[in-house]
Each structure stands twice: as structure tokens, then as C-alpha cells.
Structure 1
Amino acid sequence: MPDSRLLIGPLLRRVVGTRATVWVETSGPAVVRVRTADGAWGQAPTFSAYDHHYALVVVEGLTPDSATSYEVLIDDEVAWPVAKSGFPPSVIRTRAADDRDQPVKLIFGSCRETTQHATTRRLPPDALDAYARRLMAEPEPGALPDLLVLLGDQVYADVTSPTVRRLLKRRRRRPKDAPTDQVVSFDEYTKLYLESWRDPEIRWLLSTVPSVMIFDDHEVIDDWNTSASWRAELRQQPWWAERIRSGLASYWVYQHLGNLSPDEIADDPLYAKVVAAEDATSVLREFGERVDREADEAHDTERWRAVQYQWSYSLDLGRTRLVMLDNRCSRVLEPGNRAMLPPGEWSWFLDRAHGVYDHLVVGTSLPWLLPPAIHHVEAWNERLADSRRRWPSRLSEQIRRAWDLEHWAAFRRSFDALGALFARIGSGTPGETGDRVGAGPAYAPPASISVLSGDVHHSYVARVRFDDPSVRTPVHQLTCSPIHNQVPAAMRPLMKLGWLPGPAAAARALARSAGVRRPSVRWKKLAGPYFGNAVATLEHSGRGAEVLIEGTTSDGHLRQVARQRLAAGD
């Protein structure tokens, strides 16, 4: 039976105990039902916004430690699976009721341009496509990962395909009012997701493997929230207000809503307003405007305040805790007080980072640890950008934007705070609660701490070195990027040089000349850098941890490019 009423989906998002959430976009208002082969089911009416229709269905009554196929019905007509697709059945896999001793497998990566971009640019084969095809060839439940973690740039609002550009050209009457090659409105954003998530292999993968996501800059615009002056200049553009509210609203609908557990969805006041409205367009428009306005309180004022809507979230799988951090929307951009998260959200992060688990995984779209030479250049630039002298400050701001110097290294306060947090957790010392260090309870050190990141269009593994010998937990930076994109060839030698001792020492001397103190941690590259399209697997078994990075071959298969043991286990 054709699936013309099912525009996008189903996306299997969260599986929590005996419940699962399934997200869909339909071609019109409908009641969407999901039912499994073993009798579990759930249904929900669609909600409407901007003449588009969506449903998030909570499936109840799943059997623990099982994998069961399912189908999606729209007004009692089967819309999924697609007849004669040749793909294996989509399944919902649950973990054991007591999954503390069950291994955890996370697949992660970032930066995926739609395959239609390959019509104008020669990109290497899509790593997520290749992973999906391999999984289809071995669709046994044991081969399925527990979670797909997408770390940013799931769509590119500012780098569009020929198909989308043709649509935009027809819509733009006056080019000066909006870019002719970039999306601005909510409806234009929907075309990006339609183009990307209806890729047949990706569609099957997202229907079978649970997924969580976080945005990076390209979901809105390149270098989003680089600095306070960048933000002020963009707000002068006549199309920016529509762009930012549409970007935030569409991200909430297509990506963030599915990040929430069934209980979190039930408690989300925005979701309650959206499903209660006959037409939620005004609700989402006001939401996008409000979130951007609230972010100003962190971005632009002298007194830091917490934003009201939080994009960061966390979840537990067995003895693994994943905490995903917003590195973009809620940044503090005030010169001299820059921070990746405002104080209220940082306090939330501290609370979630402490606990009883074997493995802590922190997801950030931007790497915490860069090649050392690049790190020192970013720290040098931040210091000069905060100068009270006008010309060094202005020149450094220009360099910051031109060279994309906006990672954790360029938010030194947050870089040091994250290292200090890992040191405390890794040594088993009491946690930090609010502004009080040592106020929380003591915990046994976890077996591993891993920071998952993307953005930089190459992949590598680095290990942190702490001066404090009491830190017993190994801490690693795991960067996997891109899934489907590429770094310019001219940039590759610079990125390689960034890891070498000579360039790192020269860049450190440059930073020292501006008064930048030595980083609070040191780190060493263990694998990489690899510059092709790639997808990575982080696996936890007991107290052991290992990461595998696989790149694509010219014929669209995966090959191992790095394998690194992160924790030896018991």
C-alpha cells in the first residue's frame, strides 16, 4: 500500500522501558496509530502548524528484552511499511527490565548534507547510508545499536540543494529581502527535512534505531551566535527575525520533541499548548520569538540569567548516562564573561553529571578538545577580543568570524570548568551544587568519561592528561565528522599540523604573549585525524569501553579507520 499520506517517518525516537515514541509527518489531519506484532500499541491525533501535520505517538505495553515489528496506520489505513520496498521490517527493540549488566552501543556522528548535494559537489559516499545498508543485510536484533546520536547539522539551512534553490528562486520576489539560496520560513525548513529524511536507507534506519539529536549552527546559519556583535549585526537583516523563529520552531518539531521521554513530553507545557490548539502556528511562532528573546538575557546583559526553555537533555541506558548539551542557542556572549551555557543550565548539567553509573557520555556539537595548536589560537583570539583597546578588539573579532574561532577553547571559562568537573568526577570527590564546590555527595569514579562531538569535518580520538594523580577515570574526546560532507583540501594540512609539537608550542607562545594561562588539562591524540565521511560506534560492556570509527569506501561500504579501547573494564 502506498504511503502518500505519510510524508516523513516513522522516526523511532525514544524507547524507555516498555514504552516508545514514534514521530511522523502526515499530508493532512489524521489519527495516527502504531501497533506492534506482539500487541503493543498507541495512537494520537495529528497537531497542525504552518499547514503541516505531525504526530508523536507513545506506544505502550512493549515486551521487555524483545524486538518486535510494527506498522503505522493513518486513519486505520496501513501507511508503513511500504509494500514491496525490499527493506527488512521496522522493529522496536526493548532492553531487559533490569538492564544494568546489558551492553550499550551508541552510534554517533554529525554534519550530514542531503545526498542531493552530490549532484553539484563531489562528496564521498554517505556514511549513514552505508551503515544503514550494512544493518539491513544483518537485521538481527543483536546487531541493532541502542541509540543513534546525531550531533548537529542534521540539515543545512544555508547550504541548500539544487531542488530547494529552485523553489526559493520562485518564491523570492525581491532578493534583498531574503537570501535566494537559503531557507527562511518554517515551510522552507520543512523541505530540508523532507529531502533528507525520505532518503530510503535513512528512512528505514530512523524507523528502526532510536535516535536523539542536537542542533549546531547550520540548522540556523553558519557561525550562529559566534559573538555578541555577530548577533547584533544579524538582527539588522530584514529576514533574520523570520529565520530565527522558524529555525527554532522547526527544530523543536522535527528534532527536539523526539529527544524527550514519554514522561517529559507529558510535562512539556509547549507540547500541551501545541496539541490543544486547532492551529499551532501562532503558538510556535511566539515560541521561536520568545526563546530568541530569552536568549538575549544570557547573550547581552551584564547580569547572567538562565533562559527559560532548555534544549540540553539527558537519559540513562543501563549503566551509561548521556548528557547532551546545547552549544549554540544559550551561549553567554558578553565579552569577558563568555560561557557555553548560562548559569542555570550549567547547574542543571552539574546535577546530571553526578550520579551512580559506570560511564558518562557528554554530547556537544563542538569538540571540547581540538588539535592543540588550534586550541591555543582560539584562546589567544578570545583574550584579544576582550581587550579594552578598540583596535585589537575589533581585529580579533574579525579574525574570530573569518576563522570560525568559536569552540570551547574560545569560551575559556567553560573549557576550564568542564575539565575541573571531569577531574572531580574522575577522582570520586564530592560534586558541585550551584555555586558550592564540595556540597554534593561523593560518588565512586566511573569507568570512563567520553565527550562526543562533531562540527570540524574530521575524526579523531584524544585522551586527557590531568596533573592530579587522584583522577582515575580515563577521559576522552571522541570526534566523528562529517557523516556526509567534506573539509576543503587546503585545510587538511593545517589540521594535521595542529597536532604536532612544534606548531602547538608556537601557538602556545602566541597565546602566552597575550596573557593566556596554560590550559587546565593536557591531551594527546590517540587516533586520527581522518578526513573522510565516517560514523562511529561507542560500546560499553560492563566497565569496559571501546570506540570504533568507520569511513566510507568509494563504492559506499564501511571500513575501519580507527579502533581504540577507552577503558579496560574489570
Structure 2
Amino acid sequence: MAGLRLGPLLRQIDWETGERATVWVETDAPCEVEVRCSPPAGAPARGAGDLAPGAGGTARTWQLAGHHYALVEVTGLRPDSVVGYEVLLDGERVWPLPDSRFPASTIRTPPARTGAGEEATGGFAVRVAFGSCRWAAPPAPGAGAHDPIGPDALDALAARIARDPDGERPDVLVLLGDQVYADETSAATRDWLATRRDLSQPPWDQVADYEEYTRLYDESWLDPEVRWLLSTVPSCMIFDDHDVIDDWNTSAAWQARMRAAPWWRERVLSGLMSYWVYQHLGNLSPAELAADELYAAVRAAGREGPDGAMGLLRDFAARADADPTFTRWSYRRDFGRVRLVMVDNRAARVLTEGSRSMLDKEELSWLRDQFHDAPETVDHLLVGASLPWLLPPFVHDVEGWNAALCAGERGQRWARLAEDLRQRADLEHWSAFPASFDALTELIAEAGSGPAAPATISVLSGDVHHAYVAEPDWSRWPRPPVSRVLQLTCSPVHNSIPASIRIGFRFGWSQPARLLGRLFARHARAGRAKLSWRRTGGPWFGNQLMTLTLRGRHARLRLDQARGTGPGAARLVTTEQRDLTPG
């Protein structure tokens, strides 16, 4: 009999009709997966009627490297309803787990939309929770209940929802990178790796291949609280560097050095393949999945034999690694009148010195199209980018200075020194790609202009292991946007915050740091920037999540930090709340 190895993960809900959703699972044997829906006990549908007869969905698993997967399209849902669901494998129920302490996993659908594009309710709230950098490893054996990096914010969010399953919860959880750490494994994973190979040889105690990546996802998503949370709150994901390796795609010199390492090719291909299976597929809507030729081919090959799909997916990953224009990891999701455009700022990079860019020309054109497609239907535009657009001004100036020197602005000796510094100090954010920083700024200003402009444009980011709010000053801009534009940065979900980060980022916003940054800019022969910005909130340090509540043209931000010690004691404490509505 087949068993449920991982999941279920509730990934997509169709916000256009409220009638469909997708659920991802991994099983331990080939089987037929069924998602069966029913009204949850004691919780009748919210308003639009009962389920359609036979609501649910089925899918046959497909195989990759001895692992079995299915992404089930659930149909027959009704708008504005709450339904419970269970998962069956070959007719045997495997979810909810026996004796689960959590409430039933549910699918909450949005209210119906009228032909004019307005919600029938007159404007319901869309809640978007986001964060990044979740090192999932539990405390080491013998550590008892003590977690040296503090309580997990996702565990705390799960506990909050489980205590009041009918209360407020996010409509979507946006995970902005570093869902797994391929280069920083836990003690338990290192012990497991040692049973497979000699850890004194490269890549040492980091993961090496696809099978070892599956171990990381097991460790991350089998956490009981997180497993239940991801089964009942839809999620959108994007990778960042640690999903593959620290500083992934920093520069052409970095890439050449890594490609010369014998172990690197298997690592990067396995990272991309596992990301495609575990994260990327669930980002796609049912319509996008139906049109995806690779997905159809991998499923067909994976049902024919144990190794048929691996060759297809390895070839795809190899081409994606060699050519940033080969595929697109970025995507768009609309939640009523809230639009999320998730931007890949890792694999889409062009690294050739002299033409370095965070996004290639096709990707930038695609991004512009998403910003401008039917703007009259968008009240709030969210730009998901794992790396912050607006950093502390001193950090921004240092990264711009470094980019200019690496390009030869001060000669080859400075270029060699600057490249060494770039790799050692992680100088590879948007500000390290000055032309791309300017291009993104132009796109944001353009999207925020005109009578159909959104009320707010928010760039959601993580990476830097603290949280802050920054707001640009458009006074020197030729045509200032009418939208309120914000950089909202939130990390980590669960990771350490070294003292150097606390000191460095506090200093980076100070007036002395701004003056020092201008000296770096002059040395790089950089002209005066058209855009400046200031921090209007933070910095906040801790394991944390931000939540945007968007209703009509109004926006409100809340920052919650995880507190508490001991099993099941993690809780979220609201540290900051503020209105983001323009004017």
C-alpha cells in the first residue's frame, strides 16, 4: 500500500472563479491520488452554497529518481466557501494523519467577482503574509527543547491559526527564498549524508545530488506545524542563493570558478530539478500547467519507467543553467484586485562583465508587461524579489562602487581587488547591478503613474536577516508616481542574526554612513542618483513575518515576531502595525 511521504501542500486557488485549486503530494510508491472535499465539521460554507457533487480531484503519480509525485487539480469548489479535504491513495485515506492534533485542512475560496471586475462583497480583504530564510533544522540531539536560533515564525503562525481555525489567516503565504539550505546542513542531515559518502571529499557536508535535496525538503516540510500550515494556506515560492549555494551567480568570475569544480554540475542541476518539482510546479495555475510541455513530458515518461523522466529534467536544468533566457522562473498571480509579480533575481542574471544585468532583456520586457496588463483592475501591485531593491544607502553605494571597479573604472588592479571583495562580502544585490536597479526603478515609477495607477506598489523582499520599511523620495524624479511606493523587507523566518548584521545594517542607514557612501560613489565616478530613499520603519531583528492586509484601495502592514520556548510554545507577537494607504 502506498504511503504519503510529503505534503499535502495547498498551492493555488483560482481567484478568478473560486472553483479550482491545486494540491501537491509526494508518495512512497506509484498510486492514484485523490483529494476529496467535504464541508468541515462544525464549519458550514461561508456563503455561496454547498460543494458541487463530487468536488475534488484525482491524479496518477509520476516517478523521478525513485520518488513519486502528483499535483492534483481540485474542481467543483464554490466561491466564498470553506471546505475540508482529505487525501486518499488508491482509495485509502492518508490525510489527515491519524490522531492529528490539528484541525481539518481546509480550502478557503474568495468571493465571486462581478462582470465589472468588482467583488460581489463590495471589497473583501486580501491578506498576504511573507518572509524568507527558513533554516528548518530542529535542535541538535541532546539540546532538549532549546532552539539556538529561536522559535520558528511558521510554527508560530500555524499555532495561531490552529487555535482559531475560523479566525483571520493569510490568503497566501509568499516565501521569498532560502526554503532549503543546500550549503548549511543540520547535524541530523550530516549524519545521514555520512551513510552515503565520504564527507571529507567535496562537496563535504553540503548536499551533492537530487536524492540529498529530497532529504532537505523532508526535513523542512515534515515539521508537524509547517506541514499542516502548508496544507491549509496557499503558498507562492521563489528560490534564492542558499536553495543552491551561497552567493549563487554573483559574477562571471564566481561562475567560472564554480564550474571548474568537479562536483558543481551535479549540485546545480539537482538544485534546479528539485526546485522545479518541489516549488516551481505549484506556483503555476491549472491553465499554465496544462500548457507546460515539459510537465506533460515528465509525467508521461515518469509513468513509463523509473528513469524516463530524469533525462528530460536534467536536460532542461542544464539548458536553464547555461542560458538565463532559456526558461522563465518568474510568474504572476492575481488575488482579486491585488497583483503579485514574482521576479527571479538569481537564475535570470546576465553575468558577462560590461553587460551585467539582474534580468535579461526578455525578462525585463516580460516584467513590464505584467505591470501594465489591465492596470485598471489592480488596486495594489506587489513585486516579489528575494533581494531588496532598496538597501541601506551606504550598502547601496558600496555595491555600486564595487560594480564600477569590477568593470574596470579604476583599472585592472582595482578590478581584481574589487572582484575578490564582491565574492567575500556578498555584494550582489540590485544595487550591484546599477543598470538593472535603474531599470526596475523606472518600471515601478511608470507603473505608479497615470489615472489607473495602483494605490500602492510594494517590493517584498528578504535575504538580509532583518526587517525594515523604506520609502523612496521622488522629488528629483521627472514624473513622480502617484502610487505610494514601499520597500518591505522581512527575514528571517527561522535563522540566526549575527551581531555584525545588526551593527552593519543599523550603521548603513545613519547620516555618517550616507556621507561615507558618497565618497565611494565619487571614487567610482558615479553621478548623482535621481532617486534617494529613507528608512521609515525598523530595523527589526528576530524570526518574523510581515502581513499586508489589502482592502479596496487601503493597505495595512503588520510585523509579527516569534516568541516562546519549548515544544509547541512558539507564538506570534505583533511588533509593528501601520497604515500604508496613500495620502
TM-score range for the pair, normalised by the shorter chain length: over 0.9
Offset, 1:222: 0.6
Matches within 5 A, 1:436-447: 444-447=452-455
After superposition, what is the alpha-carbon deviation per residue over 1:388-409, rounded to whole angstroms, capped at 9, x for unaligned? 6321111101100110000000
3-state secondary structure, aligned to 1:321: strand
Matches within 5 A, 1:154-553: 154-173=179-198, 175-176=200-201, 178-277=202-301, 278-279=304-305, 281-298=307-324, 307-354=325-372, 355-356=375-376, 357-387=378-408, 389-428=411-450, 444-466=452-474, 467-468=476-477, 470-553=480-563
Offset, 1:180: 2.3
2:176 and 2:77 mapped to 1: Cα distance? Answer: 28
Does the 8 Å CA contact 1:486/1:531 hold for their aligned counterparts? no
The answer to whether residue 34 in structure 2 is matched with residue 12 in structure 1 is no
Does the 8 Å CA contact 1:14/1:20 hold for their aligned counterparts? yes
Offset, 1:223: 0.5
The one-letter amino acid paired with 1:507 is G
Offset, 1:518: 2.8
Offset, 1:444: 1.2
Does the 8 Å CA contact 2:23/2:71 hold for their aligned counterparts? yes
After superposition, what is the alpha-carbon deviation per residue over 1:435-467, rounded to whole angstroms, capped at 9, x for unaligned? xxxxxxxx6111000000000000001111112
3-state secondary structure, aligned to 2:11: strand
The answer to whether residue 107 in structure 2 is matched with residue 86 in structure 1 is no
3-state secondary structure, aligned to 2:191: helix
Matches within 5 A, 1:122-161: 122-140=148-166, 142-161=167-186
Does the 8 Å CA contact 1:359/1:448 hold for their aligned counterparts? yes
TM-score, structure 1 as length reference: 0.92
After superposition, what is the alpha-carbon deviation per residue over 1:150-187, rounded to whole angstroms, capped at 9, x for unaligned? 000000001111111012112224743x3221111111
Offset, 1:552: 1.6
Structure 1, gaps ≥5 residues long: 299-306, 429-442
Q: For the structure 1 residues 291 and 51, does the alpha-carbon distance in structure 2 shift closer, same or farther, using more than 3 Å as the test?
A: closer
1:528 and 1:190 mapped to 2: Cα distance? Answer: 36
Cross-structure match for 2:35: 34
Offset, 1:21: 0.3
1:220 and 1:528 mapped to 2: Cα distance? Answer: 29
After superposition, what is the alpha-carbon deviation per residue over 1:527-552, rounded to whole angstroms, capped at 9, x for unaligned? 11111110110111110111111112
The one-letter amino acid paired with 1:562 is E
After superposition, what is the alpha-carbon deviation per residue over 1:384-439, rounded to whole angstroms, capped at 9, x for unaligned? 010063211111011001100000000111111111111112222xxxxxxxxxxx
Q: For the structure 1 residues 554 and 174, does the alpha-carbon distance in structure 2 shift closer, same or farther, using more than 3 Å as the test?
A: closer
TM-score, structure 2 as length reference: 0.90
Does the 8 Å CA contact 1:47/1:280 hold for their aligned counterparts? no
1:216 and 1:260 mapped to 2: Cα distance? Answer: 18
3-state secondary structure, aligned to 2:225: helix
Offset, 1:117: 5.2
Structure 2, gaps ≥5 residues long: 39-50
Offset, 1:520: 3.2
1:284 and 1:465 mapped to 2: Cα distance? Answer: 50
Cα RMSD after superposing both structures:
1.7
Cross-structure match for 1:560: 574
Does the 8 Å CA contact 2:406/2:419 hold for their aligned counterparts? yes
Of the structure 1 ranges 236-245 and 284-293, higher mean CA displacement relative to structure 2 is found in 284-293
Does the 8 Å CA contact 2:63/2:309 hold for their aligned counterparts? no
Cross-structure match for 2:73: 58
Q: For the structure 1 residues 517 and 552, does the alpha-carbon distance in structure 2 shift closer, same or farther, using more than 3 Å as the test?
A: same
The one-letter amino acid paired with 2:581 is A
Does the 8 Å CA contact 2:183/2:207 hold for their aligned counterparts? yes
Q: For the structure 1 residues 517 and 554, does the alpha-carbon distance in structure 2 shift closer, same or farther, using more than 3 Å as the test?
A: farther
Structure 1 runs of 4+ off > 4 angstroms?
A: 117-121
How many percent of aligned residue pairs carry the same amino acid?
Answer: 51
3-state secondary structure, aligned to 1:171: coil
Cross-structure match for 1:104: 126
Q: For the structure 1 residues 222 and 254, does the alpha-carbon distance in structure 2 shift closer, same or farther, using more than 3 Å as the test?
A: same
Q: For the structure 1 residues 109 and 174, does the alpha-carbon distance in structure 2 shift closer, same or farther, using more than 3 Å as the test?
A: closer
The one-letter amino acid paired with 2:462 is G
Does the 8 Å CA contact 1:5/1:27 hold for their aligned counterparts? yes
After superposition, what is the alpha-carbon deviation per residue over 1:92-149, rounded to whole angstroms, capped at 9, x for unaligned? 1100111642221001000001142566871011011001101111101x51211000
The one-letter amino acid paired with 1:243 is R
Does the 8 Å CA contact 1:67/1:91 hold for their aligned counterparts? yes
Aligned counterpart in structure 2 of residue 72 of structure 1, from 76, 87, 91: 87
Offset, 1:292: 4.0
1:259 and 1:427 mapped to 2: Cα distance? Answer: 29
The one-letter amino acid paired with 1:418 is L
2:305 and 2:320 mapped to 1: Cα distance? Answer: 24
